[in-house]
Homo-oligomer: A and B are copies of this chain.
């Protein structure tokens, strides 16, 4: 049974707090193992990478065999069903179109004091993309991680993907080709993260690593942070559906289960003001659970982490949504825009009764890499900006420097930074230049 909360009950605030704080994932104690692997890859390069790949993926490679050839990638693509490839291309085109609109503008102006100011955006030089192997190998995630980098103008996008026992998912490789990934290496785990961060003889180092992975990969990304940039560490997927009684309960049940089927740690929450509707959704979930291929995973998720929150009025929803700060928020109500305007914290908002979250996972266009575990309070989904950086630009001439100098010198003096003051004063023949 999912959690049941009712905002009209006196213990609601406390129960909601407990629900919010509940951990959905056990933190695996992998830090030490990962540190060892990273140190070995840093010191030994390819040799360590090959050794760990043999140990963890049961795959014996040479350095030359690490990188997939163009022929291998083309062969993989040829092995895919044409209609799936076509769907990937439709998705890629839509994702690219949306992300192009995120490209930022440079700034260059002269202010009233005659100082020229601005900023300039440039793409990072090389991005690393981690793609999990096995069941979590999603071609859609390859598109969602690689396309923003390509749109940003990153010249080099290096992908790593483990091939346990030599197996690779052809669709993942096809997605890499479609997304313009420039290099693919058949390695994974902390050792692949180390190779991307430190570089080996075969794999040149990158400047930033993105993409989801297991506990070892997440720990490795955290440990190399600073050597390279990383994206946010992703947690289990979440959906929060705010629905009035005007919805078909089977539709809402399907939406809740579309997150629950991801894994047993996923979370699906319904907020509604209609008690009878809540009961209907509960029954529809029970029925659909019996019809799903991944029904047992979805059942575990719904039972352990699912929740139905009853409110007296949907006016109460925005405050609860902002506390939950969901990765995905569906507003299945008559006036979704009005409700959305009152909400601050959500990774992506799906407006109205005909916008199931799953459409955003694949083809809508916005990124499906979104902040989880309440990070939507402060973080955003993956975007073109994650693959660019901004240099600020300042230019003075003697006149404008002279106009700024008194305040700057006063502050440098107040902070006891003598040489700071002097570097300004010396250009203007001021007293202590």
A395 to B87, CA, bound (A): 20
- Stretch from A2-10, A52-60, A359-367 that touches the partner: A359-367
A365 (CB) vs chain B CBs: closest residue: B117
Contact A355/B87 with A139-B414, A257-B419 known, Cβ cut-off 8 Å: no
Chain B residues contacting A395 (CB-CB under 8 Å) are: 336, 350-352, 355
A336-B395, A391-B349 known; A254-B423 Cβ under 8 A: yes
A53–B201 Cα distance when bound, in Å, is: 50
Contact at B125–A351, with CB atoms within 8 Å?
A: no
- Asked if A389 contacts B394 (CB within 8 A), the reply is no
A214 contacts the other chain (CB 8 A): no
**B-chain residues with CB within 8 Å of residue A365 when the two chains form the complex:** 111, 115, 117, 394
Report if A98 contacts B (CB, 8 A). yes
A116 CB to nearest chain B CB (Å):
7
Given contacts A360-B394, A419-B261, contact A411 B91 (CB under 8 A): yes
In Å, the complex CA distance between A97 and B107 comes to 13
Distance (whole angstroms) from the CB of A412 to the closest CB of chain B: 6
A63 in contact (CB, < 8 A)? no
Which residues in B have their C-beta under 8 angstroms from that of A293?
416, 418
- Inside 8 A of A344's CB, which chain B residues have their CB? 122-123, 125
Q: Which residues of B contact A427 (CB under 8 A)?
A: 251, 353-354, 356
- Docked CA distance A407–B377 (Å): 32
Q: How far is the CA of A354 from the CA of B140 in the complex (A)?
A: 51
Task: Report the separation of the CA atoms of residues A343 and B125 in the bound assembly, to the nearest whole angstrom.
Answer: 12
How many Å from the CB of A319 to the closest CB on chain B? 11
A27-55 interface mask toward B, CB cutoff 8 Å, 1 = contact, 0 = none?
Answer: 00000000000000000000000000000
A404 CB contacts on chain B under 8 angstroms: 359, 363-364
A233 at interface, CB cutoff 8 A: yes
CB of A223, distance to nearest CB on chain B (Å): 11
Q: List the B side residues contacting A86 at CB < 8 Å.
A: 407, 410
Q: A320: CB under 8 A from chain B?
A: no
* B396 near A389: Cβ-Cβ < 8 Å: no
**What is the bound-complex CA distance between A359 and B343, given in angstroms?**
40
In the assembled complex, A381 has its CB within 8 A of some CB on chain B: yes
What would be 30 A-B contacts, judged by CB atoms less than 8 Å apart? Answer: A81-B414, A87-B414, A88-B411, A91-B407, A91-B408, A91-B411, A102-B119, A115-B365, A135-B416, A139-B411, A229-B378, A254-B426, A255-B423, A258-B419, A288-B422, A294-B416, A329-B391, A336-B395, A348-B393, A348-B394, A350-B395, A352-B396, A354-B396, A354-B401, A354-B427, A358-B417, A358-B424, A359-B424, A376-B391, A381-B390
Query: Footprint of B on A, CB under 8 Å?
Result: 81, 83-84, 86-88, 90-91, 94, 97-98, 101-102, 107, 109, 111, 115-117, 119-120, 122-125, 135, 138-140, 171, 207-208, 226, 228-229, 233, 248, 250-251, 254-255, 257-258, 260-262, 288, 292-294, 298, 322, 329, 336, 340, 343-367, 370-371, 373, 375-381, 383, 385, 389-398, 400-401, 404-408, 410-412, 414-424, 426-427
